[in-house]
Amino acid sequence: MTTAKKLEELSIKIFADGAEKADMLALAKEPYIKGLTTNPTLMHKAGVTDYAAFAKEILTAIPDKPISFEVFSDDFDEMERQAHVIASWPGNVYVKIPIMNTKGESSAPLIATLSAAGIRLNVTMILTAKQVQIATDALDMDVPAIISVFAGRAADVGIDPVPLMEQSMKIVAKKPKIELLWASTRELFNIYEAERLGVHIITVPPSVLKKAKGIGTSLEALELEGVKIFYDDGKAAGFTI
């Protein structure tokens, strides 16, 4: 009988990814959820209108788990100002900084400045080992940080993200305070892929986490379940040949 480990049995840290307040608060109570992440896109889709008020409310309600909030400027000086504001909020906050702005200009100098100032960063929207190296070089050796590699986005365009994550793990290993994060998770199995590679963190949206209730179901049981579904649907449709 083939079954998978329960999420709480895995070594990888699972972070909930989203911006729906009810989901964030509920998932934060789950012992297998070790942190949370969000971004301006998710917050906009969730109908958030007051960024600071929403963030402070979440950070106050969930003070004991790391939560990443992202800057939303395209100007590096303004990014720096926003980063200091976010870092001053209560709770266990990380500041998300994109690896570049919309002009393709590197955020490395800003990352170096903020990290040297002791601000815990989540360097985000990375899709190449080159950018992982740039981010790693810019981060302070003694300040905790996260590097988020969007493995799911690579898979969306037909590229196997596993070699990228393997290479990224070797790069970040040079600075023990850095944790590598598998971002843009598309399916539950991605958690087990990331676990097998030794990736430190994976972000998972509520829609994928809901599938966790099926963990522990054997493949044999799924076979029988599927056969029954096909049979019942064929009978309900009244098909004849």
Distance (Å, rounded) from C-alpha 59 to C-alpha 56? 5
Query: Which tokens belong to 78?
Result: 């303004």
Q: What is the pairing mode between strands 121-126 and 201-204?
A: unpaired
Cα 137 to chain centroid, rounded: 22
In the residue annotation, 170 being an active-site residue is answered as no
- 90: three-class secondary structure by DSSP: coil
CA distance to 10, 22, 174, per residue, from 192 (Å):
8, 26, 24
Sign of CA dihedral 145, 68, 133, 186: positive
User: At residue 100, what is the residue type?
Assistant: M
Find out whether 143 and 118 touch, Cβ atoms under 8 Å: yes
Sorted by sequence, the CB contacts under 8 Å of residue 159 that are 6+ apart come out as none
**Catalytic residue, candidates 5, 13, 96, 213:** 96
CA-to-CA distance for 131 and 10, rounded, in angstroms? 28
Distance CA 39, CA 215 (A): 28
One-letter identity of residue 51: Y
Could you tell me which of 142, 151, 211, 217 has the C-alpha nearest to residue 184? 151
Q: Which residues participate in catalysis according to the annotation?
A: 96
